[in-house]
Amino acid sequence: MSINTLVLIFILTLIPVDSFSETKVVTTLPELKWIAQELKVPQLETISLLSGSEDPHFVDASPSFVLKIKNADLIIVNGLQLEMGWVPSAIEKAGNSKIQFQAKGYCDASEYVEKAQVTPNYNRSMGDIHPQGNPHYTLSLTQMSLAAKKIAECLSSVAPTYQELIQKNLSKLQNDFSQKLKAQKEKLSFLSETALMTYHLEFVYYLKDYSGESKGTIEKIPGVLPSSSHLFKISKLAKEKNVKLVLASITHPRKYLEKFRSMTKIPFIQMPMHLTSEYKSYWDYQDALAAEIIKNVKD
Amino acid sequence: MKIFLFIFFLPSIAFAQNPQLIQWFAGADLIGTGNSQEELSNDFFVREFELSAFSQIDHVWQGSLTMSMHKDAGSIDQPTAEVHEAFLFSNQAINNTNIKIGRFFLGFGRLNRFHRHDWALSEAPTYHEEFFGEEAVRDEGVEISKLLATDFYLDLTMGITSGKEFVHSHSESHSEDEDEDHETVTPQVPTHYLRLASFTEFSTQRGIEYALNYVGRTDNAGVKSQYIGLDFIYKNKFSKFYKDLLQLEVWNRATEEEGEIHNDIGGYLYYEKGFDQNHALGFLVDWYTPEGAHDEEEEEEHSHGFEVEDYFTEVGMVYSYYNSEFMRTRLTLSHGDGLTIDEKRRDNTKLLLQMVFTIGAHPAHVY
């Protein structure tokens, strides 16, 4: 193969053959895709990069993600550095100028979220901390309503023709969030007086919706597997605080949760932290999560 | 060394102005070796130290600068700082295209595209060392990587570099007779290469990337080398760790000199099974077969000076302890068997300890 052949191949690859009539929106998380769909913008193609069963902190920048975003008009990310290990490199590789960081097509859904656990003085000895705030807000109905506001702004920006429609659908969606929160509060009001623990820090915003809080985490340091001595200490604390349940993600190591249960007799539940295909909608997912908590605390 | 010191002290200046302006990364690679062959050195040393700065230059271009210091096992020479990479990068100049201009690791194969501290292996496989050096071929030139307009993932990388430097040996490159080394003299045909990669997804966490590679170069003495290789990686990730990681490369080098062609074939296979985010066990096979059997005299006269005369195979078990995302400790027990010209690695059982740590902001890799 000669250098001339290589140059010819390169020139041929530069000929653009892509054309899309629809507005293509790619989200990192399926619940963000669900919001985009609920805003009901005509001619909107929505794709979620993740299926909801992954731990979005630690996904690899798969070439399939690059393929999905190479022609996207808008990328919607959870933000607060949740996807910092893979979204920047996928965007870089895709070479799509529309969705570069701070371009019109880059949408950080966390902009209006009321950030919890902001840690400005951060260093790596603190483990997997997100200095800009805890990124796990999509479990919270309150915060998802605020994320919807940002997503609506982003959609209006890339599909300005439908701005009024988007605003109208946002109002309806935010009303639905309020109604759902009201209904969930009736079911989960006991959480404000029930001692719970979590494996990691995913439930901070969720518990806040119901005036509850975690009494501690099974992890000593975020992202680090718990040592035996820490399990012993946290078990003692759980008994002292009369903890009823441990909340965890399906991606957390089950053996440590089982060990904790054998030490304390406190049950745990492992749920997907994001909207997976087993749920019809985000409302359905919220119902399932609430039902699982109720079953394990009240039974 | 002056440049190195300047870059080392630059962070305080840059951060004083704007902490977001430049991202810094530093990493080190510690190696301990123990060999059953008495003539091979047993050592514990810092093999590599790297300091890197990268940032957006303007709205189109990014800049990346990396200085490094390397040392070889048993060497008593003080390592010298060198420019590892210094390149401009843009993914916005042309749609769906990445462009690199400057000095960089050439974008072919699997190992050659990554810095050694990011490898799944502690050392280069034999064929890789013979073909591309202890770490990777790096050179000055231009590289363009284009996502083709297909419904499936198809990424074409092409590059042309000066070809003045090809197989990079840290000990050789700083030797006094560097200018006499034919590898650093202007070649008749510069290094040119191509990588066509595709990907099959099984799930968001599980997939295979595979690529066909071509590298060509004719050196100053008229020796034409053409390399054709396949690289393949399978990943099955769960949360923080790989349940399964399978990596494979197979390469053929055809060397043509005065009408005579030699074909040398080599490759490696590495499989790693992760048990949790801390522990993984791996299995390594490394093989290299230069064409035919050559007598020592012929080998010594050969301009490429094959180290392996006939064949070389190495089989190893690897235990990796991932202390965290930013540090790992790896222990490799391997046995190599082969006929080598200098008998450097013949029938040798080796225990290799590697510790890698990084601080600062490491640029993320695609798959």
The answer as to whether B112 is a domain residue is yes
What is the predicted pLDDT for the residue at A15?
58
Tell me how close the Cα of A177 comes to any Cα of chain B, in angstroms: 29
Tokens coding B60: 């189109």
Contact between chains at A95 and B98 (C-beta distance less than 8 A)? yes
pLDDT digits (tens, 9 = 90+) for B38-76: 878 889 999 999 999 999 999 999 999 999 998 877 777
Phi, psi for B185 (deg, rounded to 5) = -95, 150
For domain A19-180, give its CATH number from 3.40.640.10, 3.30.70.260, 3.40.50.300, 3.40.50.1980: 3.40.50.1980
Contact between chains at B197 and A124 (C-beta distance less than 8 A)? no
Residue from the list A1, A93, A252 with its beta carbon closest to the beta carbon of B366: A93
Identify all chain A residues contacting B358, using CB atoms and an 8 Å cutoff.
none
d(CA A263, CA A253): 16
- In total, chain B counts a number of residues equal to 367
The answer as to whether B265 is a domain residue is yes
Q: Name the strand (E) or helix (H) holding B27.
A: strand B23-35
User: Does A185-298 carry CATH code 3.90.480.20?
Assistant: no
pLDDT at A46 over 50: yes
Identify all chain B residues contacting A58, using CB atoms and an 8 Å cutoff.
237, 239-240
- In total, chain A counts a number of residues equal to 299
pLDDT digits (tens, 9 = 90+) for A172-230: 999 999 999 999 999 999 999 999 999 999 999 999 999 999 999 999 999 999 999 99
Identify all chain B residues contacting A93, using CB atoms and an 8 Å cutoff.
91, 98, 145, 147, 155, 366
B33 lies in which domain range? 2-360
Identify all chain A residues contacting B216, using CB atoms and an 8 Å cutoff.
1
Taking CA atoms, what residue in B is nearest to A4? Answer: B192
Identify all chain A residues contacting B277, using CB atoms and an 8 Å cutoff.
225, 253
pLDDT digits (tens, 9 = 90+) for A28-42: 999 999 999 999 999
Summarize the confidence of residues A104-110 as an average pLDDT: 97
Domain ranges for chain A, please list them.
19-180, 185-298
Tokens coding A273: 């932290």
pLDDT at B306 over 90: no
ipTM score here? 0.89
Residue B194 pairs with which residues in a beta bridge?
Answer: B158, B214
What is the predicted pLDDT for the residue at B12?
39
Q: Do domains A19-180 and A185-298 have the same CATH topology?
A: yes
The answer as to whether B366 is a domain residue is no
Tell me how close the Cα of B83 comes to any Cα of chain A, in angstroms: 24
Identify all chain A residues contacting B145, using CB atoms and an 8 Å cutoff.
93
Taking CA atoms, what residue in B is nearest to A10? Answer: B158
69-108 in chain A: CB under 8 A from chain B: 70, 84-86, 88-90, 92-97, 100
The answer as to whether B367 is a domain residue is no
Find the CATH number of the domain harbouring B66.
2.40.160.10
Cα A131-B118-B63 angle, rounded to 5 deg: 65
What is the predicted pLDDT for the residue at B223?
92
CA B126 to chain centre: 12
CA dihedral A81, A86, A91, A92 (to 10 degrees): 110
